[in-house]
Each structure stands twice: as structure tokens, then as C-alpha cells.
Structure 1
Amino acid sequence: MSESYAFVPDLHTETLQLRIPRPAPESLPAEQAAEDVPAPRKGGRDRYLDLLRALALGRVVLYHNFGWAWLPLVFPSMGVMFALAGSLMARSLSRPALSVIRGRLRRLLPPMWLFGAILITAMVLDGWGPNSDGHPAVWWGELAFWVLPVSTPPFGDNLHGFHGIVEPTWAEQIAVPLWYLRAYLWYVLLSPLMLKALRRQPWITVFTPLALSILINSGLFDQEGRIWETVTDFTTFGSCWILGMAHQEGLLRKLPQYLAPSVAPLIMVAGLWWLLSRPVDDPTVPSDLDSVPIAQAVWSFGYVLLLLHLSPSWERWPRPLERWNGLISLLNARAVSVYLWHNTALVLAIPIIDRLWDVDFMFQHGQWLLRSHWFPLMIAIPLIALFVLCFGWMEDLAAKRSLRLFPWPRRQLGKRRAALAA
């Protein structure tokens, strides 16, 4: 299981906008935008949650570039993102469940459809098609998962690489984030039932996915096929999602103040012990949390419990964080686009670097840079910005907002000074 992540909020702050004609009312929406940000307790945006979402997204990009095994331990992005989404879902379910689910799908699917249309076209041009795997009927049938991702959408796992320009596995690398959309979809569909169970049997409901994850990954089951793939991801992060719901329902605030800070570190130690005690094929390679579902589930649960216990609910940024308002707001407004397209940028960075070896100046003076693991990231960041500029508007279209090419918030100095004076 690999990573990827995160989801978007709508900006209530005044933004500097490049406007495009407003879409027709029937236009489709994108996931993780306005409603994907749990409302602060006092009414405006909760900047603490914005910060967590931005950190999770940035950590995912770093992990997919460097592959550092310690990054998921420092900040388990997936568990955090599912907890934030679960909290929002619980709040939204004060409305009729079917309308909430329809709204979530409306926000999730259009950005994925745009991404899929471009990726499928590129894969077909690189040799992917009905006869690629020898089962044309299966190929055509599985394309339906690009319409509704109840299972992982198909992709070409060994293509021509556009005559060697990119690696033959380029499509597989780009498709890594799709598991998150599949898991998110199932959480959304089952949230009404999970919320009812949470209200009747809170702690049994919270710990049930964790217990199922331990059972399923105990070695008693042969986990082959699409169904087991979905069940594994669902149980790995299900307790984080329900913990977010419990936070929104106020159940965590009913606990004694000392309980979460006392218990959560013990839970995390258990997850770390399980990770380090697993047999490994190569002792020189550090154990990776993402490859051990039980460790991932337990560590993420303890980490999320601590974050939700802290939960300061900032309506305004603390002064040291004010300078990051623009970047954090932009990442929240375009989280789906960054999440979907960041691996594409990382894949494209490699052939760009390969061509730079042919530049005499770079060959003579810049080999240290061309060999650096940081250089692909340096190239990928502007490529991510370009993809967000080209395709990020789909998130606005999906949410039925005015389209914005670059939703950077405008500084509101007058309001800030008035607040300080008050």
C-alpha cells in the first residue's frame, strides 16, 4: 500500500483571483474543498486543521520523492487526512445522508475524471489497450473504475516509455495516489452507518476497524484480489476516520484531560514495536510503515488521537505562522490537484534531468546538482504549480464556485490592524 493524499477546503478569505466565466449550474464539483474543512467551534475557518492538511500534503510529496522510511513516523499523513475528513463528514451528516453522499461524490469525481482522461490517453498512446493483458473484455470492464473508483482504476504497468524517454513503469508511478480516492469513497458511502454505530456504541465502533486490521493481517487470510485490497486499506485507516467523527461529536472532550496524552504514546509504541519486529527481506533497508498495515493502523491511531486532543481551533493564525497564510491557503484550496498531479511532476522531472546531462555547462560544473536527490524535487515543484494552474480550476467547477486560476489570499492589513487595536 502506498501513499497519497489529502483534501481541499473552500477559501472564505478574500482572494486574488483571475476569473473565468462562471460555469453552468449543472457543472460537476471536486472533493476536499469547502465542505472538507471541519468547521471551527466558533464559526470561521479552523486554521489548525488547515495547517494539518497542508503539512500532510507536503509530507506526501517529500515521501514520494525521497522514500525516507522515517517520514510516515514523523507525520502519518494518511491517518491525519482521513481523520479530518471523518470529522467533516460527521458534521455534514446533520443533513440528509443521501444528499451529503451525493455532494461528496460530486466534489471527488470531476478532478479524478480529468486526471483519468489525460492519463488514459497518454497510456493508450504509449501502447496500453484492450490486448495489453490478453483479456479485452476485462480491460473494457475495469475502465468503469475510472468513472466510480469503488476499486483501484486500471493502468498500464509496463509500457514502452515513449521510446525510452520515461521509465516503462511511469503509469504505475503516476497512479500511486489512486488508492486514496478508492478508500475515501468507501468511507463516504459507509459514514451514515458508522455514525449511527458511533452514537450507540462509541468505543466499540472506534476500535472495531483497528481490531479487524489486526485480524485480517494476522496471516490467517490469503489477501489476493481487489476485494482484499479495498478491505485492507479500509480497516487500516477506519479507526482514524471514526476518531475524527468522535472528535466532531464531542466524545473526545468527555474524556479526562490526562487520558489521551497518557494512552496515545503507549498505542504508538505498540505500533512501532510491531513495525520493528516484522521480518525483513533486506536488513539494510529500514522498515517502512506503509508496508506494514497493522503498524500503520496502530501508529496512525495514536498519533491522530494526540492531534485531536490538542486541537487548539485557531480562527486566526498565531503570529509566527501568519507569513505562511498564502501557501497554506493555496494548498488547501488546491489539495486535490496537488495530490493527483504531484507524482506526474516527479516522474517528468527525471527525463528533464537526463537531458540536462547533455548541456556542456551542467556536465562540467553541475554534476553535483544533477546527482542530488533534491534536484528532482526542485524541478517537480514548478511542474506541480503548472499542473495546478492548468487543472486546478476543476476543483472550483466541481464545487460550483467562481473559477480561480491562482487562489492566493489577499492580505487584509486593515482588518488585521483593527483586530490588534481592539
Structure 2
Amino acid sequence: MRRLARLAAQTPADRERYLDLLRALAILLVVLGHWMIATIYYGADRRPDGHSALPAMPWAYPLTWAAQVMPVFFLVGGYANAASLASQRARGADATGWLLGRSARLLRPTTALVLALAGSALIARLVGAEPGQVRTVVWFATVPLWFLAAYLAVVPLTPVMYALHRRFGLRVPVALVLLVALGDLGRAFGPAELALPNYLLGWLAIHQIGFAWYDARRGNCIPLHGTHPAIDGTSNRTDPAAGNRIRTRCLPMSRRAAVLMITGGLAVAVLLTGPGPYPVSMINLPGQRLDNAAPPSVALLAVATAQLGLILLLREPAERWLRRSRPWQAVIAVNAVVLTVFLWHLSAVILLVGGLDGLGLLPTPAAGTRAWFAWRLPWLLMLSVVLAVLVTIFGPVEARTGRSTASRHHSTDQPATDRQHPADRPAAGQRQPDHRQGGVDRPRGDGRPTPWWTVALAVAGYAAVVYAMAANSVAPKAAPEPLGLPVTALVAYLVGAGTLRLLRSGWGSRG
């Protein structure tokens, strides 16, 4: 508690605390949503299995407009990536060094999950478990990786997409939405392959809005003619290279703009899902002709617009509330292990179901029945206990990653848990200790370009990690995989993550 109080007291006054709250709430909503809709039953082989309760409750489909929070992740990610990139460049680091630093916080907790699941699968096989059964369990535990693969595919594009944002402003997400609409036409009328880029383009559109929020907060706005004071009282800064070609690259933050986003987004979403061809549910369900989430559809982007309006409408009261110490300490605590919570919340389901089944105490009420609803509260409480144990075991991996990143970068744009206390910093005039001399974790700032082989290895390693997560997600649920994950995906992940780890340590950066 003392450390949380210290971190809360040292938070910079200009920090957008609301984004930390949104990140924490989005993760908790995903966890709660997955737990709430899970329905457990016994299959023909008398083993526990599960599926979503949503198909049995069509009345709940509109609730997915609030429960589908993936757009919030990409919105917050866009802001955070723009902020960290700007901070790194101000200290002389290049895009490769920035990418390696960003990958650490994402991949270290993920690697812990991958290794733990592969090791558990190997033990299960040694004691006689069937390969198909092992794969089914691991497949369910790694469902969170499909989202992480999408986010990891967007992150390395930040330098290029932010450059486009600085040149063309809000025209970029508009163009991306039009391309998503073109992909939807391909899904509806053919060829269906026209929609494949939507897996990237849809999330990039929302990620760009995060850039616009960051520029609005920092006053990086370019009016069509002349200058004007930026929002939040900061001075407006123009870009001589861009001139006056852009009306603005800032997100409109006014109450009026927020209301327009809510009403406009909801109106478009209702038209697209009512008389239009899109399903009401923003979560993919079996049997739907068009899916809204994978890949993102225009309907999902309309709902994301309404969500953005609501987020902006609540921003000022939320910021005032977060100025209080206790709420802010709670947000800091959750964000310290937020990725661990996300990665392990379905493993908690597996452990609880396995334990209750072993004791002969596993209830299996039908979805949507009174017994099913009555079982929700004890179900959620027991899952919370199991997840708390998992976070206690694996959370320190993420927490240490955040602290080590902060000790090297000292960025006010890092998550609150990444802030280094002034007492831990060197005194004025002293050199910051660094046991990774020459490493890319510590910006060189000497004007020398990163060696080409370092760039190539970083790109290859990052691509291998994304490929591994995507390959695992699309592999059959009951394939006879001896280690639970496809061998090629597991090897690609370990090689990719290991390469990035070596590059972060400084290997290959000496030119």
C-alpha cells in the first residue's frame, strides 16, 4: 500500500489518468463477460465442455454493444503508442528501439503463459491424457491470444501510421473506414477474400483515433487557417512541414461532439443491424452470415463511435474522481497486472471446472434457465479466487517488466505503474546506472542508425510471434497436438520472442 500511495503521489499533473482507468475497466469487462456467458455441460464422452450462452438468449444481443470492448483497447493503445513513440524520439531513439521496448511488456507475461501451458500439456501427455483432449484444454486457455495477435500486428505500424496522421489528420481513419466498408461488400457479394484486410484495417482505424486524442491533449492541432488555443489550455503548436493543409489532427473533445458521436454512432448501428444485413450481436456467434468482430465490420465501427462519444462524455467527471488518492491507487494496482489478468482468466475457468468435476460437484444448468442465473454469483466468486491465485503466481513477471522499463525510460507517458519514484533516480549530474551498455533498451541518442541486421531481426522476430499466435488461434480445437499448441506455432513463438529478448539485451546492436 505504501508503494501504491507513493506512486499515486508522484503521478504527473498532466497525466491522462482516464486512459489507465479505461484500460483496467476494459480488461475487467472482458473477464466478467467471458465468465458470465460461459455454459458448462457434459459431452457424449462424459467430460466437461463449454460453449457461449448467447445463442440461447437472443434478447441479450444488444448488450454486446456495451460488452464488446476491443475498440477501447485499440483506442487506449493508440494514445499510449503515440505518447511513448514521441517520448522515445525526443531522447534520440529510433523506431526499432521503440518497438523492442514496447514488445517487452506484452511478451514477457505472454511467454509465461505459453511455457506454463506447454509444460502442463507435456505432463498431461506423460500421465496418459489423449492429445486431442490436451489440445482442447490448451485451445480454450489460449483464446485471449487471438486478440493479442491483432494488437501486436497494429503496434509495429505505429511509426508509419502516426506519420500519416500528422500529414492527413482525421482523414486517415475516414479512409480506413471506407476500406472496411469495401471489405464488407466483398463478404456480402464476393469475393470474400476482399474482407481479409479488415482484420487489420478495422483496428487501425480505431488506433488512429487514439493518435488524435493524444494530439488533442498535447495541443498538436493544425487549423485550416491561422492558429488558435488548443484544448485544455495548452498552446497550439504548428508543423511547418505540414503547413495549413489539414483542418485538424485533434479529436473533438467537447460535450457537443461527444453527444453527436453517441447519437450518430447508435443511429448508424441500428440501421445497419435492423433493416441492414449485419447481425445485432457484436460478438461472433455460430451460424451468422456476417461477423462483426472478426474481422471488424462497419457496424462494429459505428458502435465504437458511440462508445467513444460516451467515453468522452464521462471524461471530465472521471478525471476529477481519479484525482483522489484511493481511486487512483486502485487503478495503478490493477494496471500493474492487467495483462496477466487477461491472459489467465480462462485458465481459471479450466482449473475450477476440473476441480469441481473431480469432486463431483460441477453444476451444469442449461443456459438462460433460472438455475443457470442462480449459479452465476457463486460461479463468479469462485473464479475470482482462482484467478487471484494465478495472478499472485504470475503477476510479478508483468510487474517487474513494468518497473524495469520505467527505470530505463522515465517516461511520463508510460502506464502509471511504470513510473520511477524520484528517490530511485540518480541525483542531478550523476549518470544513470545501466547494466545493458549498448543495448537498445537504453536509447543511444548518438545519431547513429540502428544496424540493418538488428532491424531485420526485430521485424522477423516480431512477425514470428504474431504468426504463432494467429496460427494457434486458427488451428483445429481438437487437433492431436502433443504439447497443446501446434508445434510450428510454438517453435515460431519461442524463436521470435527469444530473438526480441536478445535484441533488447543489446545483442546485435553494436555496429
**Shorter-normalised TM range:** 0.5 to 0.7
- Identify if the C-alpha distance between structure 1 residues 305 and 402 changes in structure 2 by more than 3 Å, giving closer, same or farther: closer
- Identify if the C-alpha distance between structure 1 residues 358 and 193 changes in structure 2 by more than 3 Å, giving closer, same or farther: closer
> Which stretches of structure 1, 4 residues or longer, exceed 6 Å deviation after superposition?
279-285, 367-371
Q: CA deviation at 1:79?
A: 0.6
Structure 1 match to 2:202: 236
Deviations 1:15-72 (A, max 9, x none): 79xxxxxxxxxxxxxxxxxxxxxx97x43x4332222122211110121112354443
In the alignment, residue 161 of structure 1 is paired with which amino acid?
Q
Question: Larger C-alpha radius of gyration, 1 or 2?
Answer: 2
Task: Show structure 1 runs of 5+ residues with no match.
Answer: 1-10, 17-38, 129-157, 163-167, 360-366, 409-422
1:329 and 2:341 equivalent? Answer: no
1:161 and 2:133 equivalent? Answer: yes
- Would the aligned equivalents of 1:46 and 1:314 in 2 still touch at CA under 8 Å? no
For 1:374 and 1:257, locate their aligned partners in 2 and report how far apart those are by CA, in whole Å.
37
Where does 1:10-409 land on structure 2 (aligned, <5 Å)?
A: 13-14=5-6, 42-43=13-14, 45-67=15-37, 69-94=61-86, 95=89, 96-127=94-125, 159-161=131-133, 169-218=136-185, 219=187, 220-223=190-193, 228=196, 231-250=197-216, 251-252=249-250, 258-276=256-274, 277-278=276-277, 290=293, 293-294=296-297, 295-308=299-312, 310-312=314-316, 317=321, 324-357=327-360, 372-401=375-404
Q: CA deviation at 1:313?
A: 8.2
- Identify if the C-alpha distance between structure 1 residues 181 and 369 changes in structure 2 by more than 3 Å, giving closer, same or farther: closer
- Would the aligned equivalents of 1:209 and 1:239 in 2 still touch at CA under 8 Å? yes
Q: CA deviation at 1:213?
A: 2.0
For 2:372 and 2:64, locate their aligned partners in 1 and report how far apart those are by CA, in whole Å.
27
- Would the aligned equivalents of 1:93 and 1:100 in 2 still touch at CA under 8 Å? yes
For 1:282 and 1:119, locate their aligned partners in 2 and report how far apart those are by CA, in whole Å.
27
For 1:12 and 1:210, locate their aligned partners in 2 and report how far apart those are by CA, in whole Å.
41
Q: Which gives a bigger RCO, structure 1 or 2 (Cα 8 Å, sep 6+)? A: 1
- Would the aligned equivalents of 1:353 and 1:376 in 2 still touch at CA under 8 Å? no
For structure 1, which segment, 329-338 or 392-401, has the greater mean C-alpha deviation from structure 2 after superposition? Answer: 392-401
Task: Show structure 2 runs of 5+ residues with no match.
Answer: 38-53, 55-60, 217-248, 363-369, 407-415, 418-511
For 1:254 and 1:262, locate their aligned partners in 2 and report how far apart those are by CA, in whole Å.
11
- Identify if the C-alpha distance between structure 1 residues 291 and 194 changes in structure 2 by more than 3 Å, giving closer, same or farther: closer
Deviations 1:260-293 (A, max 9, x none): 42244212331243234447799999x9854673
For 2:174 and 2:148, locate their aligned partners in 1 and report how far apart those are by CA, in whole Å.
23
For 1:181 and 1:284, locate their aligned partners in 2 and report how far apart those are by CA, in whole Å.
25
In the alignment, residue 301 of structure 2 is paired with which amino acid?
A
| TM-score of the superposed pair, with normalisation by structure 2 | 0.55
Matched residues, number: 325
Q: CA deviation at 1:127?
A: 4.9
- Identify if the C-alpha distance between structure 1 residues 223 and 373 changes in structure 2 by more than 3 Å, giving closer, same or farther: farther
In the alignment, residue 401 of structure 2 is paired with which amino acid?
A
For structure 1, which segment, 273-282 or 90-99, has the greater mean C-alpha deviation from structure 2 after superposition? Answer: 273-282
For 2:4 and 2:213, locate their aligned partners in 1 and report how far apart those are by CA, in whole Å.
23
For 2:31 and 2:291, locate their aligned partners in 1 and report how far apart those are by CA, in whole Å.
16
- Identify if the C-alpha distance between structure 1 residues 263 and 328 changes in structure 2 by more than 3 Å, giving closer, same or farther: closer
